[in-house]
Amino acid sequence: MQEDNYRHKGMRKLLVEELRNKGISDENVLNAINNVPRHAFLDSSFLDFAYQDKAFPIGSGQTISQPYTVAFQSSLLEIQKNMKVLEIGTGSGYQACVLAEMGAKVFSIERQRKLYMKTKAFLSEFRYHIKTFLGDGNKGLPTFGPFDRIIITAAAPEIPQTLIDQLKIGGMMVIPLSENDDHQTMLRLTKQEDGSMKRETYGDFRFVPMLEGVGND
């Protein structure tokens, strides 16, 4: 694992201030962004750019989301300590580590086999105990549910009922729902006593598509 030195920590502080200026106000989220070394999740060639508010490729056709998107989704989740969180789309593992730093117990699914193996090995070196799974995110993890929170980090063509079924009453799901190929609308869904979902809309974002099955890339 790459070292985390004073230079990196200084760059993270600047990133936190940038996110604060862009409207992120949840101190739990900002503290997590400040504490998780994003550069460690990227190839060393990206080291000088790791704390820019930009997405970067991580292989298998996937990206590490820009910090603002990670912070925004994390804020919508309103994480409390020891909440059980299901993440669809492990990717580099950065979002999962931010949630774990916030106090969540994270269960994360990745569908790309090579990326899953790489990230699983990488996360084993970290201080966070994140449970990672290879599988189809649309199916969730019914054996480990129900969950307090569910976060989808890919563009979903629809809201999977299987994931709604794995959400606790009063639980929240944050999901970028595809409106067209160019952008998605960020939604926060809260499960009501009768099983219906209260829907809140939070603007446009861009994500890689959420696909079915398991890939070998």
For the stretch 139-149, pLDDT in tens is: 999 999 999 99
- Smallest Cα–Cα separation from 109: which of 89, 139, 130? 89
Q: Give catalytic status of residue 44 as yes or no.
A: no
Q: CB neighbours (10 Å) of residue 104?
A: 26
With contact defined as beta carbons under 8 Å apart, do 76 and 172 qualify? yes
- Smallest Cα–Cα separation from 60: which of 128, 126, 113, 125? 113
Beta bridge partners of 56: 64
Portion of the chain with pLDDT greater than 90, in percent: 67
What residues contact 158, with CB distance under 8 A and at least 6 apart? 177
Q: What pLDDT score does 217 carry?
A: 55
With contact defined as beta carbons under 8 Å apart, do 187 and 163 qualify? no
Q: What pLDDT score does 60 carry?
A: 62
Q: What residue segments make up the domains of the chain, in order of their start? A: 53-205
Q: What pLDDT score does 2 carry?
A: 66
The pTM assigned to this predicted structure is 0.92
Tens place of pLDDT per residue across the chain (217 aa): 568 888 889 999 999 999 999 999 999 999 999 999 999 998 777 777 889 998 887 776 777 889 999 999 999 999 999 999 999 999 999 999 999 999 999 999 999 999 999 999 999 988 889 999 999 999 999 999 999 999 999 888 899 999 999 999 999 999 999 876 667 899 999 999 999 999 999 988 777 656 655 656 5
Torsion from C-alpha of 177, 152, 134, 97, nearest 10 degrees: 150
- The 10s digit of each residue's pLDDT in 97-124 is 999 999 999 999 999 999 999 999 999 9
Determine the Cα–Cα distance for residues 103 and 28; give it in Å rounded to an integer. Answer: 9
Q: What is the rounded radius of gyration, in angstroms, for the C-alpha atoms of the chain?
A: 16
Alpha helices per DSSP H over 22-93: 27-35, 67-77
45's torsion region: left (phi>0), alpha (psi -120 to 50) or beta?
alpha
Q: Which of 60, 65, 75, 108 is catalytic?
A: 65
> What CATH superfamily is the domain 53-205?
Vaccinia Virus protein VP39 (3.40.50.150)
Q: What pLDDT score does 64 carry?
A: 81
